[in-house]
Structures are given as structure tokens and as C-alpha cells.
Amino acid sequence: MLAPALSALVRRNQAELADAYSAAALRRVWRYTHFSWWMTTMLHTTGDPFDAQLQRSQLHWLYSSDAAAMGLAENYTGPPLRVSDL
């Protein structure tokens, strides 16, 4: 994402992609921050019975839902970087 933006700025003096970079990068950062929080809360116990039930529910959902498993896989590996995301 950054390389095409810098290339357009340096080679063609086009600042549009560079100007849009921060907002696009922050969307990705917040997506991965949420994923990290979700995985941590799902996989690490707190000792609270309510939290334990939520963890079991999330893990069952991942195990039983193809859509949930695909969402986990996409977030774990990260979606492809595209200039169109800028």
C-alpha cells in the first residue's frame, strides 16, 4: 500500500494515494487490533465463569461454522494489500 503511494508521489508528482495512506493504514491497524483482542479474550482464561462460557461459545462457533473459520483465517493471515484500498 505504501510503495505504490510513494511511487506515484515521487515519479508522477501525484499525491492522492500518499494523502489517503494514513486513513487506509489505520483501518487495517484497527482491524488487526480488534482481531488480536478477540483472539486473546477467546483463548486466555480470566477465572470468571461468565467469560469462560463466552469463550466456549466462541470456540464452538469457530468449530461449527465455515464462515467463522474463514473469517478467522482471513484475519489471521491478513487480507491482500491493494492500491484500491487507499
Q: What is the pLDDT of residue 2?
A: 86
Every domain of the chain and the residues it spans: 2-79
Q: What percent of the chain has pLDDT over 70?
A: 93
Q: What is the pLDDT of residue 68?
A: 96
Rounded to 5°, angle at Cα 32 from 59 and 42: 20
Closest to 57 measured CA to CA, from 74, 38, 32, 70: 38
Q: What is the pLDDT of residue 86?
A: 61
Q: Is 41 in contact with 56 (CB distance < 8 Å)?
A: no
pLDDT for residue 15 is more than 80? yes
Name every residue whose Cβ is closer than 8 Å to that of residue 24 and which is 6 or more positions away in sequence: 1, 85, 86
Confidence label for 71 from pLDDT (cuts 50, 70 and 90): very high
